[in-house]
């Protein structure tokens, strides 16, 4: 993790929050207290930024800079509103395609998925504010810069974002080995949210229950699952194929 992705110290973090910087989350020393810490917590809650108390040792491992018991993680990516992204796609006469990531925590997978999303014409990436990979310089690099071009929409809960997408007429297709149908037999030509799951446990039950279709990738080998970034690339290619042939 690059030091430029971090802000260390109580007052630098307060100023970053006051200035509206793209802060992803904040870590406090577990026993930290006092008025500056209270202000950081209040500012974070006002902006919906996750914060977490952690042992001092964890903060020390993150940076050699004097941190005063507080570290904020910066995102190199500006957030955009999901409703605006979908509306703009419709206004341009395009068919909206949103890639929703449910618990993807590996930075390299995140970058690779966003790169595929850019290559195959997705309009935005939809992610929850917690339990997802950081969008710092490492993710931007892995995405080959696609994270600087592709809109990222954050929501408190992924199910909230899916509900908002459905209100705009988007169908929800979850790419999962639990599906009865396959990507090739699922109609994905219309307005769509493609959901990809976490590297270890896949898509959560709450998100699966919201899906209109559960579609799996047809495979021939003995191993029944793919790396999530590979699976996302295959799914996005299939959507592109259906929409262009």
Q: Which two tokens stand for residue 147?
A: 């994270």
CA neighbours closer than 13 Å in the CB half-sphere of residue 155: 20
Please indicate, yes or no, whether residues 87 and 58 belong to a single structural domain of this protein.
no
Enumerate residues 6+ apart whose C-beta is below 8 A from 66. 8, 9
Domain count of the fold of the chain: 2
For the chain, give the percent of residues with pLDDT over 70: 98
Please indicate, yes or no, whether residues 107 and 44 belong to a single structural domain of this protein.
no
Is residue 89 helix, strand or coil?
helix
Please indicate, yes or no, whether residues 156 and 185 belong to a single structural domain of this protein.
yes
Q: What is the pLDDT of residues 9-40, one digit of tens each?
A: 999 999 989 988 888 889 999 998 899 999 99
Distance of CA 171 to the CA centre of its chain: 19
CATH number, domain of 98, equals: 3.40.1280.10
- The CA–CA distances, whole Å, from 164 to 29, 98, 155, 218 equal 36, 12, 10, 30
The whole-number average pLDDT for the span 216-234 is 88
Q: What is the pLDDT of residues 43-99, one digit of tens each?
A: 999 988 889 999 999 999 988 888 999 999 988 787 899 999 999 999 999 999 999
Q: What is the pLDDT of residues 121-161, one digit of tens each?
A: 999 999 998 899 988 888 888 898 898 889 999 999 999 99
Domain, as residue range, for 11: 3-74
Please name every residue paired with 141 in a beta bridge, in sequence order, or none if there are none: none
Rounded Cα gap, residues 170 and 95, in angstroms: 9
Candidates 198, 206, 201; CA nearest to 159 is 206
Rounded Cα gap, residues 164 and 154, in angstroms: 12
Please indicate, yes or no, whether residues 52 and 152 belong to a single structural domain of this protein.
no
Last residue of a domain, one of 74, 93, 121: 74
Please indicate, yes or no, whether residues 133 and 199 belong to a single structural domain of this protein.
yes
Last residue of a domain, one of 74, 96, 120: 74
Checking if the pLDDT of 234 tops 60, the result is yes
Last residue of a domain, one of 17, 43, 74: 74
Candidates 123, 175, 132; CA nearest to 152 is 123
């Amino acid at each position: 993790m690059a030091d430029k992705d971090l802000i260390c110290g109580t007052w630098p973090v307060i100023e970053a929050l006051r200035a509206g910087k793209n802060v992803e989350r904040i870590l406090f020393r577990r026993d930290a207290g006092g008025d500056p810490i209270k202000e950081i917590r209040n500012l974070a809650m006002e902006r919906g930024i996750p914060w977490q108390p952690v042992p001092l040792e964890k903060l020390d491992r993150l940076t050699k800079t004097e941190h005063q018991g507080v570290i904020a993680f910066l995102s190199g990516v500006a957030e955009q509103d999901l409703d605006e992204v979908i509306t703009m796609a419709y206004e341009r006469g395009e068919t909206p395609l949103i890639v929703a990531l449910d618990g993807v925590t590996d930075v390299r997978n995140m970058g690779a998925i966003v790169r595929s999303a850019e290559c195959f014409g997705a309009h935005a990436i939809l992610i929850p504010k917690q339990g997802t990979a950081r969008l710092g310089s490492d993710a931007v690099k892995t995405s080959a810069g696609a994270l600087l071009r592709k809109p990222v929409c954050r929501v408190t809960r992924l199910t909230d974002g899916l509900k908002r997408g459905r209100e705009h007429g988007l169908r929800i297709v979850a790419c999962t080995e639990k599906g009865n149908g396959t990507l090739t037999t699922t109609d994905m030509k219309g307005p769509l949210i493609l959901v990809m799951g976490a590297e270890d446990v896949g898509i959560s039950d709450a998100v699966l229950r919201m899906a209109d279709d559960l579609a799996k990738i047809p495979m021939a080998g003995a191993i029944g699952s793919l790396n999530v970034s590979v699976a996302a690339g295959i799914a996005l290619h299939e959507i592109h194929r259906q929409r262009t042939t």
